[in-house]
Amino acid sequence: MSVSVLSLTRPLDTVSGLLQLASLLGLALLLLKAAQLYQRRQWMLKAIQQFPSPPSHWFFGHKQEFQTGLELQELKKRTEKYPCASPRWLWGSKVILVVYDPDYMKMILGRSDPKSEGAYRFMAPWIGYGLLLLNGETWFQHRRMLTPAFHYDILKPYVRLMADSVQVMLDKWEELLSQNSHLEIFEHVSLMTLDTIMKCAFSYQGNHQADRNSQSYIQAIKDLNYLVFSRVRNVFYQKDIFYWLTSEGHRNHKACQLAHQHTDRVIKLRKAQLQEEGELEKVRNKRHLDFLDILLLAKMENGRGLSDKDLRAEVDTFMFEGHDTTASGISWILYTLATHPEHQQRCREEIQSLLGDGASITWEHLDQMPYTTMCIKEALRLYPPVPSVGRELSKPITFPDGRSLPRGFLVSLSFYALHHNPNVWPKPEVFDPSRFAPDAARHSHAFLPFSGGSRNCIGQHFAVNEMKVAVALILLRFELAPDPFRIPVPTPRIVLMSKNGIHLHLRKLL
Ligand code: HEM
């Protein structure tokens, strides 16, 4: 009997001993981590001592600014109170310098700092390491390889395709409006811009605006916009191993799968078409290479083609960047014109005198709508589709006012705050297209919807053309008015969205 009691207690002793040891080790690790975080916080506090900011909680940082839903309002207040830039604590051990001054922007965009790890890394499971996320030499090679896809000769015939996609959307609007004059436009515009990029960059035929696959892709992108943004700001979502176990992690995984199904379909079909068309050289001679052709035929400097993974990353990147940004741009432009009927009418008159019924809009027309162009720019100032971008300083920086930051510091270039900074744009909330009159002077880095420097937007000419075509054709067919009961609330995600959609009243013009 006594032998069996002894034999039972010994293992128990061993187990409890092991548990004690594990707890001690755990505690030691916890203390070590706490010491590291404390040291990091001290380093950050020292680095930003020359940059005042609103008071922040030692653990939650400026979290309440994000939670009120009035984040952009808070940002505007900062531009009035704290000149040039101010730190924003995401939590106790993570701070970012938010920049909204043209000289600061110019300095940072003139360097070659990499994209900040945190925010961009969280987009990688979705868009992979394509042009948007790549850094260094590989980025340079890809940029050089893809730049010809945006040459004027390639962009010219796209105007026709863009106009066709817009007309499909407008026909649908006419049908819907026979029941109700009110419409939430963001989703319709997203389907239209997706249709356009599919036809232009990926030679994908058909009507995607009524297609269920396109609709579920758009929904996946909407979810990912929210999920990536939410992850960036949550201290508990930083480590992959924990994040993918959370319900948001599951949703993210599912949305990525949906997005990839869409892009895989496009690649597969195009590859099959290329096979049918015969040898690659024949294709080269037959017509201009679109974006996907360039990728499929690409030979990198080492003579090898793009790997399937790299190819997918570029397709995912351009599928997203090529439609969501322009959807945001066009939707906010329409909202701005709806709330400023006198400018809307002036644009319409300009377009009517140029195009008549608009049936044959061409590349040549796009440079002949100066007032509409000014209104588009002013709307992009008020509602920049990409509200901010991030960089991690690869070497120390000293700004023109003498303040400095060390290597490794994170900066957020807030185009939204820059465009609403009263020191840069007097009365920034007023919609005043004359700010963009040909003779109006401004700082080279006061207006940056497409960013600047070597990592500016590769698709900006494509985007501007698409916005002009869409605005021109929409104004010819409809009169726009805001819905006074549903004023949109701008919300920063990867692109600028509205928390409650963008609701307009539309009246068909005869
Ligand atoms: C109104 C529409 C658009 C806006 C406001 C916009 C804005 C921007 C901005 C601000 C950046 C810099 C991002 C960063 O530094 O992280 C960027 C980069 C980029 N954009 Fe756009 N974009 C638009 C449309 C497009 C279109 C239509 C395409 C493709 C057809 C496109 C493709 C890209 C790509 C691939 C990059 C990464 C470029 C690089 O890093 O080399 N964008 N865009």
Q: What is the pLDDT of residues 46-91, one digit of tens each?
A: 999 999 999 999 889 998 887 767 889 999 999 999 999 999 999 9
3-state secondary structure of 305: coil
DSSP character at residue 367:
G
Is 60 exceeded by the pLDDT of residue 216? yes
CA–CA separation, 123 vs 112, rounded Å?
Answer: 21
Question: From the CB of 450, is ligand 1 less than 6 Å away?
Answer: yes
User: What is the per-residue pLDDT for 64?
Assistant: 84
pLDDT of residue 299: 63
* Residue with the larger pLDDT of the pair 338 and 58: 338
Amino acid at 502: I
Measured from the CB, is residue 317 less than 6 Å from ligand 1?
yes
Segment 244-272 mean pLDDT = 93
Least confident span in 291-300, 343-352, 495-504: 291-300
CA–CA separation, 418 and 449 (whole Å): 10
Count H helices and E strands in the chain, helices first. 20, 11
Quick count: other Cβ atoms within 10 Å of Cβ 482?
Answer: 20
The answer to whether residues 280 and 286 touch, using CB atoms and an 8 Å cutoff, is no
Spans of all domains in the chain: 69-508
Residue 457 assigned ligand-binding role:
yes
Residue 264 has a CB neighbour count (10 Å cut-off) of: 13
CB-ligand 1 contact for 314 (6 Å cutoff)? no
Residue type for position 431: F
Binned at pLDDT 50, 70 and 90, residue 2 comes out as: very low
For residue 287, is pLDDT > 60? no
Average pLDDT over residues 194-221: 87
Q: Is the CB of 51 under 6 A from ligand 1?
A: no
**CA 385 to centroid of ligand 1, rounded, Å:** 10
Structure tokens at 117: 């790890």
pTM, two decimal places:
0.93
Q: Select the more confidently predicted residue: 299 or 342.
A: 342
User: With 60 as the cut, is the pLDDT of residue 279 above it?
Assistant: no
Domain 69-508 falls under CATH 1.10.630.10: yes
State the Cα–Cα distance between residues 345 and 331, nearest whole angstrom.
18
Which atom number of ligand 1 is nearest to the Cα of residue 328?
A: 1
Q: What is the pLDDT of residues 144-202, one digit of tens each?
A: 989 988 988 889 999 999 999 999 999 999 999 877 789 999 999 999 999 999 999 98
Residue to mutate (ligand 1; options 109, 321, 336; most atoms within 8 A of CB): 321
- The CA distance from 490 to 149, in Å, is 32
pLDDT at 203: 83
Tell me the one-letter amino acid at 89.
W
**Is 10 or 386 the better-scoring residue by pLDDT?**
386
471 alpha carbon, distance to own chain's centre: 21
Band of residue 212 on the pLDDT scale cut at 50, 70, 90: confident
* Listed residue (327, 288, 261, 267) closest to 126, CA to CA: 261
Over the stretch 392-439, which tens digit does the pLDDT of each residue have?
999 999 999 999 999 999 999 999 999 999 999 999 999 999 999 999
